Amino acid sequence: MKKVVVIGGVAAGLKSAAKVRREDPEAQITVFEKGSLISYGACGMPYYVGGLVADVNEFMKTPAGAMRNPGFFKNVKDIDVRIRTLVTAIDRAAKTVTVKNLETNEETAVPYDKLVIATGASPVRPPLPGIELGGIHQFWHPDDAVAVRSGIDAGRIKSAVVIGAGLVGMEMAEAFKTRGVDVTVIEMQERVFPAFLDVEIAGSVAKYATENGIKLLLGEKVERFNGEGTVREVVTDKRVIPADIVVLSIGVRPNTELAKAAGLAIGPTGAIAVNEYMETSDPDIYAGGDCVENTNIISGKKVFAPMGSTANKHGRVIGENIGGNRVKFRGVLNTVAVKVLNLHVGKTGLTEREAKELGYQYVTAMVAGPDKPHYMPGSKPVTIKLIVEADSRKLLGAQAFGEGEVVKRIDVMAAALTMGMTIDDLFDMDLAYAPPYSSPIDNVAVAANAIMNKLEGKLKGISSLTAKEKMDEGKAIFLDVRSPEEFNQIRLANCRGVKNIPLGQLRTRLSEIGKDDEVIAFCKISLRGYEAACILEGAGFENVKVMEGGIVSWPYACEK
Amino acid sequence: MKKVVVIGGVAAGLKSAAKVRREDPEAQITVFEKGSLISYGACGMPYYVGGLVADVNEFMKTPAGAMRNPGFFKNVKDIDVRIRTLVTAIDRAAKTVTVKNLETNEETAVPYDKLVIATGASPVRPPLPGIELGGIHQFWHPDDAVAVRSGIDAGRIKSAVVIGAGLVGMEMAEAFKTRGVDVTVIEMQERVFPAFLDVEIAGSVAKYATENGIKLLLGEKVERFNGEGTVREVVTDKRVIPADIVVLSIGVRPNTELAKAAGLAIGPTGAIAVNEYMETSDPDIYAGGDCVENTNIISGKKVFAPMGSTANKHGRVIGENIGGNRVKFRGVLNTVAVKVLNLHVGKTGLTEREAKELGYQYVTAMVAGPDKPHYMPGSKPVTIKLIVEADSRKLLGAQAFGEGEVVKRIDVMAAALTMGMTIDDLFDMDLAYAPPYSSPIDNVAVAANAIMNKLEGKLKGISSLTAKEKMDEGKAIFLDVRSPEEFNQIRLANCRGVKNIPLGQLRTRLSEIGKDDEVIAFCKISLRGYEAACILEGAGFENVKVMEGGIVSWPYACEK
Ligand SMILES: Cc1cc2nc3c(=O)[nH]c(=O)nc-3n(C[C@H](O)[C@H](O)[C@H](O)COP(=O)(O)OP(=O)(O)OC[C@H]3O[C@@H](n4cnc5c(N)ncnc54)[C@H](O)[C@@H]3O)c2cc1C
Ligand SMILES: Cc1cc2nc3c(=O)[nH]c(=O)nc-3n(C[C@H](O)[C@H](O)[C@H](O)COP(=O)(O)OP(=O)(O)OC[C@H]3O[C@@H](n4cnc5c(N)ncnc54)[C@H](O)[C@@H]3O)c2cc1C
Ligand SMILES: CC(C)(COP(=O)(O)OP(=O)(O)OC[C@H]1O[C@@H](n2cnc3c(N)ncnc32)[C@H](O)[C@@H]1OP(=O)(O)O)[C@@H](O)C(=O)NCCC(=O)NCCS
Ligand SMILES: CC(C)(COP(=O)(O)OP(=O)(O)OC[C@H]1O[C@@H](n2cnc3c(N)ncnc32)[C@H](O)[C@@H]1OP(=O)(O)O)[C@@H](O)C(=O)NCCC(=O)NCCS
Ligand SMILES: [Ca+2]
Ligand SMILES: [Ca+2]
């Protein structure tokens, strides 16, 4: 009877344990968890704070409503889960772990045949003056969620400061905003989601957040917290912000102490090194979830990518392998999806910045369009940025945002990246088309077309960033080919050099533009901008560019 | 200056023309269309009848609101579109087409360097007695949509009969139902969507439609129409149904007369044969859209797959090639998505029936689950059926239905099929996970896991079809492992041999089941059913099966 010991009672740990049980009805499976809660879906917690989820216990329930507590694991899965039990050491020679009952402080040695380390990650807590004040929360455990929500429910919280504009930070900003709390997000870097968005996309997301009532302070550094007992103010290098509550979300670090102390290999990212079977440097010890590092399958590089999805997959693979099979985990794409109010944001594969750092020769295109035919109610824009290797025409990465159906496209491109698709494959794919779901040529295929056009010199793009520089220099003609009605409704703000010639009139009004003028053509999404450029180039104009993404993707101000 | 002539002024024709223009600013491009409307999105018409779209002209407008009429094509794209102009013959030797002005009946010969045949398809009109009566509509052209809708708007239509339970038929059933019209769909075959759904999925879709007020008469044949001037009754081989209106949607046939008369090759499906460059047997003549046949990239077989998405892609490829490039169109997956009220239905690749006919050795799995965590508002079920080649573990096809996010999964599987993914790749894919969008292990990956489990003998599935036979025989134990509360709420109707043991009690109540009993375990989605089977098998029970898809995918009656 195989003895399987698991350290950590959440996603990777319990998934491993559950899968071992299905593989091996005889195994003796014990899970140690130092906390008193297990098997919780932490990812849902922002929606509890935001009020969409009524009860924090939902995160520990099965879809059928059963609480996943130790009794559940015993009855359903014949797994012993010991809560409030800290594993303090691993003795690889003796094949035991030392566990400490946190109620009694008793220590015991527990033998294992196979050990699973699933200790997760812990939020970074910066050693700033005042960090010990009350009301400064990390947001990682259900207890944190309950503390934050009860404060709001009690009406005690009028203004909140979130530190860090990453996934948890922006989800919490949404939650506060939804609950009517005045919220400010402070981010040291110059953009939101600095870990996974390129500058121009991050700019659009930040614009959306700001316009919808989330205050963003980018490129700003928190220096201290003021208050007596409880936090009252956050002091940055630029200002003082009143705060009834502070949420820290500046990242997490893998919990590797046990593994390190046991002499297991730690990888270049600082997380536990595992091979493709999820084995550590000791073949009797597996590790998975937030405490291990992953391989990015595009770059081949080791990455720290602590995700609940990955943790669960690790767990299944570990369970298979402990069960006597030989199953590999291939790696990750650092795929991300996140909702910010009604904006959907996603990314898979490499960012442009990463592609550049890794030395790829690449092209990018940013393409906006409706997510389904404009005549269908609920049609909303989606902007996709593709990063493609120039020679091989292979997709390297994609980012997308918009109020439309973004994540479907991210998932399709994750599938594409998994298999090394080229842009030609992206266009060929027979994606489902019916008006409730998409346009006849899906946004992904249009984005692939734009890259093809760029590679063949048919589309000369200019990013919003470069276009803004040109605008400020005041030398280029900004050729807005929308209708006068559209132009009156909304325009690029303070656009020096703007000229509004509707596309349908362009062929007869060519004389209004000089053949040597630098022309930047655009429209709402820059489809007409592209057609305008085709017309101008066909007529011999030599210096015409299309502003990629159009007005809907413009990260700077517009005027009405 | 290249002369390009296009026959047909809708998707494939105008897309070809538009792309030629972008490739070649000099070309002289003429499009002939026998009707008076061009460039319409016919796919949206059911939503016009249903009332979601207010104005039929929306289908001819760009997202920016410009009408795509001949003036638009002239001004924006420098393309001559001649409406009410029928092409009556192609003279390949002379490289001319004969066109007839339907206003004046004048005929002229028009020369071409490159010709595009984009004549589309036409709805089948069965030669039944009474077919000439008023109120019997095909539903293919905006005029049909206007006729049907104005009848409803005028309050003249209380009951409608739709003939054919395919895409257009079921979308029209939804439209009638939405408008409060009593609607009956008559289908000759025994199931809805006979062209692309396997029996058990079609059964679930039919159940949903029926429960939501669409009357279905399956396996029933229309014999005649009664009425005076206008249709009043539809007579089938089984009954007489009163009808104020009839919509015919029993399929379409490619318009190949011109091509045939010109001696161009016709393929095995009866549609125009083209190579991967979309060239007909005459290299100066291209053809695309509903009038040509496609290659299914999984089976390699020729198929007739008239879709608006494909027509547009054909058009772009034709435009590229006429423009002097050499671009291939790889083929289709016969992907389909369709909405029936709030049920989403999709399919890509081969059905089980097709896989069987083609001689594949395959396994299938049907897996239900919530489309995102149960605690998120709006979480709804999705059922996925995978068909996988046993040896290679490659995906052959997928079907899905549910009120949850179905089409995202279909698109991901279309991407997977495009690249020949195995089930191992399907699990590995790093799909985006955040609670608003999916569960940590996405439905697609769970479906892949189920197939793995079946291939390795860990999951012994039984389809709802076979389970129903067993139920009627009365020999098997139907082990429903849901909670008593769930069991009280809804159950399989008239389930002989049902036994309700909640999963959490199963390990202690094993003695209630005989070791040799044939056990069919299930729950709402059959996840707990699978766990129950693991427990029973672990305890030495030998004849245990899991009812795939669970209660949410049960195509037969349930009782409450
Ligand atoms: C607010 C929030 C939102 C998130 N959103 C997403 C999202 O949208 N998508 C996504 O993919 N991921 C998301 N995540 C991340 C996801 O929750 C984690 O990736 C996942 O929980 C990792 O699971 P794990 O089992 O590896 O580690 P953890 O969940 O951290 O569990 C590790 C457990 O091990 C225990 N432990 C550690 N050391 C010991 C020891 N020595 N002895 C005993 N017990 C020990 C800990 O107490 C802990 O309970 C989110 C996280 C948060 C907090
Ligand atoms: C109600 C409905 C719903 C649909 N839903 C979907 C869907 O959800 N998804 C999907 O992918 N597809 C859908 N389709 C199918 C889609 O509309 C067609 O695939 C598409 O229109 C085909 O385009 P085409 O250009 O090949 O042919 P057509 O649109 O048929 O256009 C061909 C044109 O050629 C003209 N023509 C023919 N012969 C001559 C001649 N000799 N001289 C001059 N002109 C000629 C015809 O008058 C016609 O206007 C739907 C169709 C309908 C009717
Ligand atoms: C739930 C948890 C205990 C894992 O337990 P589990 O039994 O493996 O998980 P599930 O209940 O989802 O069951 C999954 C099994 O059922 C199978 N299954 C799922 N749906 C099925 C269906 N409809 N039909 C047949 N089988 C099905 C799966 O394939 C899997 O079996 P396999 O691994 O043997 O292939 C663990 O993931 C956990 O604690 N999660 C909560 C925390 C968390 O995930 N946090 C991070 C994200 S917020
Ligand atoms: C609309 C129609 C005339 C085709 O004209 P078109 O000019 O090719 O189509 P669009 O206006 O969508 O423009 C597409 C072009 O803009 C490009 N484009 C689209 N969005 C863009 C963006 N945001 N930025 C840059 N380029 C963009 C595309 O890549 C494509 O160019 P390419 O083919 O050179 O690569 C033809 O498809 C039609 O008549 N459709 C209506 C009928 C129909 O489709 N029915 C069936 C379905 S219901
Ligand atoms: Ca095994
Ligand atoms: Ca060219």
Closest ligand to B22 CA? Answer: 4
Across the range A227-239, mean pLDDT stands at 98
Using the mean position of ligand 6's atoms as its centre, give its distance from the Cα of residue A15 in Å.
Answer: 54
* B210 lies in the same domain as B277: no
Q: Select from B199, B220, B250 the last residue of a domain.
A: B250
**Three-point CA angle A148, A153, A155, nearest 5°:** 100
- B432's CB contacts (< 8 A; 6+ apart) are A335, A336, A337, A346, A348, A407, A410, A411, A414, B438
Assigned domain for A69 exists: yes
Task: Give the whole-angstrom CA distance, residue A298 versus residue A333.
Answer: 7
Range of the structural domain that residue B164 is part of: 136-250
* One domain, residues A22 and A75: yes
Share of residues in chain B with pLDDT > 70 (%): 100
Nearest CB to A429 within list B52, B415, B486? B415
Q: Quick one: B377 exposed, middle or buried, by C-beta within 10 A (0-12, 13-18, 19+)?
A: exposed
The H or E element containing residue A318 is helix A308-322
User: Which one of A407, A430, A439 would you mutate to disrupt binding with B, by most B Cβ within 10 Å of its Cβ?
Assistant: A430
Mutational test site, ligand 3, from A19, A47, A61, A310, max ligand atoms within 8 Å of CB: A19
Residues B482 and B539 in one domain: yes
- Please state the atom number of ligand 4 nearest to the C-alpha of residue B73: 3
Least Cα distance to A384 among A545, A166, A197 occurs for A197
| Residue B432 pLDDT level (bands cut at 50, 70, 90) | very high
Average pLDDT over every residue of B403-417: 98
Mark whether A168 and A257 lie in a shared domain: no
CA–centroid distance, A174 to ligand 2, in Å, is 45
| CATH classification of the domain holding B221 | 3.50.50.60
Alpha-carbon distance A544 to B109, whole Å?
A: 39
Structure tokens at A522: 């655009």
Judge if A266 and A316 occupy the same domain. yes
- Say how many C-beta atoms besides its own lie within 10 A of residue A395's C-beta: 28
Query: Does B437 lie in the same domain as B361?
Result: yes
Nearest CB partner across the interface for B333, out of A430, A505, A508: A430
| Whether the Cβ atoms of residue A234 and residue A241 lie closer than 8 Å to each other | yes
| Confidence at A493, pLDDT banded by 50, 70, 90 | very high
Q: Select from B428, B455, B482 the last residue of a domain.
A: B455
Looking up residue B514, the CATH number of its domain turns out to be: 3.40.250.10
Cα–Cα distance measured from residue B234 to residue A441, given in angstroms and rounded to the nearest whole number: 39
Question: Helix, strand, or coil here: A242?
Answer: strand
pLDDT of residue A552: 98
| Strand partners of residue A56 | none
For all residues of chain B together, what is the average pLDDT? 98
The pair of structure tokens assigned to A268 is 């270049």
Confidence (pLDDT) at A219: 98
pLDDT digits 0-9 by tens, B475-489: 899 999 999 999 999
% of residues, chain B, pLDDT over 90? 99
pLDDT, residue A92, reads: 98
Residue A364 included in any domain: yes
Strands (E), A356-453: 362-370, 381-389, 395-402
Count of CB atoms within 10 A of residue A481's CB?
29
What element of type H or E holds A246?
strand A245-248
- Section A438-446 average pLDDT: 98
Q: What are phi and psi of A167, to 5 degrees?
A: -55, -55
**Long-range contacts: B355-361, Cβ < 8 Å, 24+?**
B355/B387, B355/B396, B355/B397, B358/B299, B358/B301, B360/B389, B360/B396, B361/B389, B361/B390, B361/B391
Q: Is B420 on the interface with A (CB under 8 A)?
A: yes
> In this structure, what CATH number is given to the domain that contains residue A394?
3.30.390.30
| Beta pairing, strands A136-138 & B96-101 | unpaired
Q: What is the mean pLDDT of residues A284-297?
A: 98
Of B412, B427, B455, the last residue of a domain is: B455
Q: What is the mean pLDDT of residues B16-38?
A: 98
The structure tokens listed for A100 are: 């400490």
Considering the domain boundaries, does residue B125 fall inside one?
no
Is B523 a residue of the active site? Answer: no
Residue A462's identity, in one-letter code, is I
Q: Are residues A295 and A378 in the same domain?
A: no
Residues 507-536 of chain A with CB under 8 A from chain B are: 507-508, 523-525, 528, 531, 534-535
CB-based contact A215:A184 (threshold 8 Å) = yes
Mean pLDDT for A521-527 is 98
Residue A481 confidence class, pLDDT cut points 50, 70, 90: very high
Q: Is residue B300 part of a domain?
A: yes
Nearest to B163 by CA among B199, B131, B120, B201: B131
Residue A96 pLDDT: 98
Average pLDDT rounded to a whole number, residues A176-195: 98
Which residue of A lies nearest to B426 if distances are taken between CA atoms?
A415
H-helix or E-strand spanning residue B86: strand B85-91
What is the number of other CB atoms lying within 10 angstroms of the CB of residue B84?
14
Cβ–Cβ under 8 Å, residues A60 and A35: no
All residues at 6 or more sequence positions from A467 whose CB lies less than 8 Å from its CB, including other chains: A476, A478, A520, A522, A547
Q: CB–CB of B53 and A375 under 8 A? A: yes
* Rounded Cα distance, B216 and B221, in Å: 12
A50 within a domain of the structure (yes/no): no
Whether B441 and chain A come into contact, CB under 8 Å, resolves to yes
Backbone angles phi, psi at A476, to 5 degrees: -85, 155
Classify residue A59 by burial, with Cβ atoms within 10 Å: 0-12, 13-18, 19+. buried
Kindly determine whether residue A63 and residue B339, on different chains, have CB atoms separated by under 8 Å: no
d(CA A422, CA A451): 11
Distances (CA, A) of A292 to A117, A405, A504, B429: 9, 32, 57, 18
Confidence of residue A190 (pLDDT cuts 50, 70, 90): very high
Domain count, chain A: 4
Burial class for B253, CB neighbours closer than 10 Å (0-12, 13-18, 19+): middle
Residue A47 domain-assigned?
A: no
Q: DSSP per residue over B137-196, as a string?
A: EE--SHHHHHHHHHHHHTT--SEEEEE--SHHHHHHHHHHHHTT-EEEEEESSSSSSTTT
Q: At what angle do helices B70-77 and B11-23 cross, to 10 degrees?
A: 20
Alpha carbon distance A408, B512 (integer Å): 46
User: What sign does the dihedral A153-A158-A162-A168 (CA atoms) show?
Assistant: positive
Distance, in Å, from the CA atom of A72 to the CA atom of A70, rounded to the nearest integer, reads 5
Tell me, yes or no, whether B11 and B93 share the same domain.
Answer: yes
Asked if residue B128 belongs to a domain, the reply is no
A115 and A257 in one domain?
yes
B381 falls in which pLDDT band (50, 70, 90)? very high
Q: What is the rounded CA–CA span in Å between residue A188 and residue A194?
A: 10
List C-alpha distances in Å: A552 to A84, A436, A491, A502, B518: 51, 22, 10, 18, 61
Whether residues B9 and B65 share a domain: the answer is: yes
CA angle B335, B337, B341 (to 5 degrees): 165
Amino acid at A166: G
Q: Mutate which of B16, B32, B33 to test ligand 2's pocket (most atoms within 8 Å of Cβ)?
A: B33
Average pLDDT over chain A, rounded to an integer: 98
In-domain check, residue A49: no
Residues 6 or more apart whose CB falls under 8 angstroms from that of A394 comprise A388, A420, A421, A422
Is the ipTM higher than 0.85? The answer is yes
- Tokens 């709804």 locate to B380
Number of the ligand 4 atom closest to the C-alpha atom of B311: 46
DSSP B360-371: --EEEEEEEEES
Give me the helices (H) in A231-301, please.
Answer: 257-261
Q: What is the structure's pLDDT at A241?
A: 98
Say which DSSP state A68 is in.
-
Cα separations in angstroms, B323 against A222, A534, B1, B471, B512: 58, 14, 12, 63, 75
Whether B17 and B4 have beta carbons less than 8 Å apart is answered as yes
**pLDDT at A441 (0 to 100):** 98
**Whole-number percent of chain A with pLDDT over 70:** 100
The pLDDT confidence band at residue A301, using thresholds 50, 70 and 90, is very high
Alpha carbon separation from A387 to A362, A459, B4 (Å, rounded): 7, 16, 35
- For residue A449, name the pLDDT band (cuts at 50, 70, 90): very high
Give residue A294 CA to ligand 5 midpoint distance, Å: 25
CB atoms within 10 A of CB B389: 18
> Are A91 and A239 in the same domain?
no
A85 by DSSP, 3-state: which? Answer: strand
Q: Which of B432, B450, B436, B384 is nearest to A309 (CA)?
A: B432
Q: Dig out the tokens for B231 from the structure.
A: 């249709």
Dihedral angle computed from the Cα positions of residues B11, B17, B23 and B29, in that order, rounded to the nearest 10 degrees: 180
CA distance A310 to A301: 16
Counting one residue from A and one from B, how many pairs have CB atoms under 8 Å apart? 288
Q: What is the pLDDT of residue B269?
A: 98
Alpha helices (H) in B43-166, listed in sequence order: 45-49, 70-77, 142-153
Per CB-CB distance under 8 Å, the chain A contacts of B523 are 64
| Confidence at residue A318, expressed as pLDDT on a 0 to 100 scale | 98
* In a shared domain, residues A450 and A468: no
